[in-house]
Structure 1
């Protein structure tokens, strides 16, 4: 990796020199140079100077925020170096989390679809970069999912829909590569730290949504909503073991998983009661059963009960017989 690192350093120096000499617009030049310095090919243990990038954005007008986002995305989509890509994504993640309102607005409005879309990214320099390419693809997907969740959150929606989006985000996080030992690399460690913060925020939001589903609301919900809620809670439980392994926080779940398990039991109880009610047979009178025997069993039967008696006499003084209507 030494020769590759040296070549990358030379590329960085040439790019920075070109950006300084050839670009005339000062904000554009400063943003471009800041991005190049934050996303170098240097050793993977070197974290990007994100604070310098954010400080530069704060010093300029909000109208120029788009220049920084454009420079980061251009750098990201123009590289096949795994460490440059990771540094670009880390910087963009910091912009999403800690950037000014103008920066956040720029990145959320930059595209209505996937912004990063690195599904084809591969660095085939050696075995490690090949494995780390999986982390780049996964990290980009997580950030895209987070942006989509933010857009949908701002657009409103009911508790059930909101819960499904949050569960989808947790499932996306759980899709992390199995090669967790790469967390020994400082870049991957930083990635996991930032996503861990996002994960805890998502779980707090899930807790808020689930708390709205009290027993009374669950009992009053439709069968469709009950089924959807149960499915979402089971999907969450399927993620539990993986996120514990990823973030090593078995004791730091703030009771969220216990709440999920409790609400899931309440939902299953309501579903079971409704199922049992549907299985209870109709207990009709003896005359009703006699009438049903004269109707083809393959047809549905409706029995019309007699009206209340008038002055102690049957209607039209005729002995009442149940009226049986069949629908074939």
Structure 2
């Protein structure tokens, strides 16, 4: 069954590439070559570089290239093809021209959650395809979060020097959490080149995200005294979520990130405790002052004699 599936994939690739060559569709031809049905090897650097070169021209050319890539991704039910398309999308995010990245960020125009619409992807032709399907679902979700975080930052992660900004820290934490949830390589397909490439790309993304996280945690440490109670509580929650990713992230322990995260979390926790105590005191004081007007002794019948206005006779 596996050999037959592989043979059918080769025939499909040859047919599609021949058709693109006859129609002189250069971008489509190179995309088809980069996203073949071969489930053991990732796209070559040459084919990915050629795909990226489509962004060196006009916006219309870049838009057409992204549309062809997305149509290929959305139109396939083959796990290997889908993974290679996702690798191409990831390559555009990190190495594409501004025009190509811009076209990717607005496609489709709705954007948002489940951007790539692959959360239900299944390919069960053989055990290898079934296992690769889990990587399609995970890598698509990772790319969706990567695009979402980049929109919040205002630039694609890793494409320019990190600056201290007021971006939503929880989007970075969500990105780290997503990386932690990657599937575990399975012996069903052994040392698969596609899976190895995706694991490598995820590790590179973690390296970039780690720098962003460190810069923002450092900023939080400096500004901690100026945060409102709700902001500090939210920060502590985010740092706790981040700490839970510690065991899954490679290389962070040596760089001391987790010690730094724990230090800032503890300081923020102390500030929450102090601010909470202060709020409780203020609340008690407010309740006491509000009840002052009711704290006078209850008047008895003889006290009416002291109020000639007769206001209590009503």
User: 48, 59, 62: which one pairs with 2:58?
Assistant: 62
User: RCO (CA 8 Å, sep 6+): is it higher in 1 or 2?
Assistant: 2
Q: Which runs of 5+ in 2 are unaligned?
A: 156-163, 296-314
CA-atom RMSD, angstroms?
A: 2.9
C-alpha separation in 2, matches of 1:184 and 1:231: 38
Q: CA contact under 8 A between 1:69 and 1:107: conserved in structure 2?
A: yes
C-alpha separation in 1, matches of 2:269 and 2:47: 52
Matched, 1:190 2:190: no
Residues 213-232 of structure 1 mapped to structure 2, 5 A cutoff: 213-214=220-221, 217-232=223-238
C-alpha separation in 1, matches of 2:284 and 2:32: 80
C-alpha separation in 2, matches of 1:222 and 1:109: 35
Task: Give the direction of change, closer, same or farther, for the CA distance of 1:14–1:222 in structure 2 (3 Å limit).
Answer: same
Q: CA contact under 8 A between 1:86 and 1:136: conserved in structure 2?
A: yes
Give 1:4 deviation, angstroms: 1.0
Deviation digits for residues 131-185 of structure 1, max 9, x if unmatched?
2211101101111111111111119xx9665211111111122221244666821
Q: Which residue of 1 aligns with 2:271?
A: 270
Task: Give the direction of change, closer, same or farther, for the CA distance of 1:302–1:62 in structure 2 (3 Å limit).
Answer: same
Q: CA contact under 8 A between 1:50 and 1:94: conserved in structure 2?
A: no
Deviation digits for residues 68-104 of structure 1, max 9, x if unmatched?
1111111111111111111111111111111122211
Aligned length: 280
Q: Which residue of 2 aligns with 1:133?
A: 133
C-alpha separation in 1, matches of 2:228 and 2:99: 42
Name the SS of the counterpart of 2:168 in structure 1: helix
User: 88, 91, 95: which one pairs with 2:92?
Assistant: 95
Structure of higher CA gyration radius: 1
Q: CA contact under 8 A between 2:122 and 2:130: conserved in structure 1?
A: yes
Give 1:105 deviation, angstroms: 1.6
Q: Which residue of 2 aligns with 1:144?
A: 144
Name the SS of the counterpart of 1:241 in structure 2: helix
User: 27, 30, 44: which one pairs with 2:26?
Assistant: 30
Q: Which runs of 5+ in 1 are unaligned?
A: 285-298, 305-323
Matched, 1:41 2:37: yes
Residues 251-270 of structure 1 mapped to structure 2, 5 A cutoff: 251-252=253-254, 254-270=255-271
User: 279, 294, 298: which one pairs with 1:326?
Assistant: 294
Deviation digits for residues 237-275 of structure 1, max 9, x if unmatched?
11111224xxxx2554x2221211110111111122334
Give 1:127 deviation, angstroms: 2.3
When normalised by structure 1's length, the TM-score is 0.77
